[in-house]
Amino acid sequence: MSLFDTDELVINMGPQHPSTHGVLRVVLRLDGERVVGADVVIGYLHRGIEKLSEHRDWQQIVMLTDRMDYVSAATSNLGYCETVEKLMQIEVPRRARYIRTILSELQRIASHNLWLGTHAMDIGAMTVFLYNFRERELILDLFEEFCGARLTYSSMRIGGLPLDIPSGWARKVSAFCDLFETKIPEYEDLLTHNRIWKERTRNIGVISGADAIAIGLTGPPLRGSGVPRDVRKDEPYAAYDEFDFDVPIGSAGDIYDRYLVRLEEFRQSLRIIRQAIAGLPEGPVVGKVPRLIKPPAGETYHAIESPKGELGFFIVSDGRSNVPYRFRVRPPSFCNLQALPRLIKGHLVADVVAMIGSIDIVLGEVDR
């Protein structure tokens, strides 16, 4: 018997809300401040990139992939180009694969920077945000020097790269690595052993490894649950099979472990970049690509490890037109976001924003 008659409070978090990282709408049913149920409403940023891509020729689509995960354009470029290369069986020169690896690892650092900044800000630590943007800016400078753009890079082409790296760029990347290594402890000083940070993140949104796989988590959220799943290791692409790096995993599967995993990924990314810079081979940056790109009829699925998780492309070519017959993206943010209602159930409103932050979504990619 309930002594008092209580109502649930339905609160509409988003689509305009400072912590939903874009136009995400979460309809929360609350008992006091406790979340009883949640419905995630997406699609506010749906631009029909999959449909559009079926009407753009193969090279033009690179530009569309920029606009999916717009804080991590280079990895989207890479995923798409490699899928088409796989479909056409094009051999990419080793130098191009090395540079692609460097670019996508720089991109991973930049994306994690943005994640850490906004995630910490959601939990109230505003200084971390600016520290991270300070370093992210340096990466954007490097990208600008390489391809002229700071956000939507279009930094790759089918068969290789649009152009070779500028002279002195490799040295600047090394200098950045040295600098960035000294900056990681700054973030850790502010957060890792901070009592409040730990209280806010530990044992929140816990998910076991098996559950995480079943519900479709990939990337750092999955590794935070202790599953050593990383496309870079499991199905190496670009030049990852030539480098030595570890896949950090967590144990508890809570927000804190996901944080630790991503922080360690900073270091592993630096390790990969340094190896790639040190062993950067000479040679062309574009493989043997026909002037008119028209892959033979067939379909393929190819996945890479984007900063958010497994970014897959399923592309069908009819072998006749110069546009893909079917272009499908398996967006990691979309699949990871699916776990949100399960993760926040029973937690408080304040944990909802921490959860959204910890699964690191970009709405451009969720809605496409």
Choose one: 146-154, 246-254, 285-293, 329-337; the region binding other proteins (CB under 8 A): 329-337
From 68, 123, 173, 207, residue interacting with other proteins (rule: CB under 8 A): 123
Q: Which is nearer to other proteins, 96 or 227 (CB)?
A: 227
Question: In the bound complex, what is the minimum distance in angstroms from residue 168's beta carbon to other proteins?
Answer: 26
Smallest separation (angstroms) from other proteins to the CB of 365: 12
Give the gyration radius of the chain's Cα atoms: 21
DSSP 251: S
Task: Pick out residues in 21-50 that bind other proteins (CB under 8 A).
Answer: 33, 42-43, 46, 48, 50
- Residue 188 found at the interface with other proteins (CB under 8 A): no
In the list 235, 267, 277, 345, the residue contacting other proteins (rule: CB under 8 A) is: 235
The yes or no reply on residue 288 touching other proteins (CB under 8 A) is no
Nearer to other proteins, 147 or 311 (CB): 311
The backbone torsions φ and ψ at residue 71, rounded to the nearest 5 degrees and listed phi first, read -95, 0
Task: Give helix 169-191 / helix 255-278 axis angle, nearest 10°.
Answer: 160
Closest CA to 293 of 81, 76, 75, 48: 81
Q: Does the protein bind other proteins through residue 281 (CB under 8 A)? A: no
Question: What is the rounded CA–CA span in Å between residue 153 and residue 143?
Answer: 8
Contact partners, residue 256, CB within 8 Å, separation at least 6: 197, 198, 201, 202, 204
Interacting positions 73-112 with other proteins (CB under 8 A): 86-87, 89
Name the segment binding other proteins (CB under 8 A); options: 143-151, 154-162, 243-251, 350-358: 350-358
322 contributes a contact to other proteins by CB under 8 A: yes
**Residues facing 316 on adjacent strands:** 299, 326
| CA–CA distance, 157 with 85 (Å, rounded to integer) | 10
Q: Is 358 in the site for other proteins (CB under 8 A)?
A: no
* Minimum gap (Å) between residue 148 Cβ and other proteins: 26
Question: Helical H runs in 73-208?
Answer: 73-88, 94-122, 126-147, 169-191, 195-201
Q: Does 66 bind other proteins (CB under 8 A)?
A: no
Indicate whether 192 belongs to the interface with other proteins (CB under 8 A).
no
Interaction between residue 142 and other proteins (CB under 8 A): no
Return d(Cα 240, Cα 183) in angstroms, integer: 25
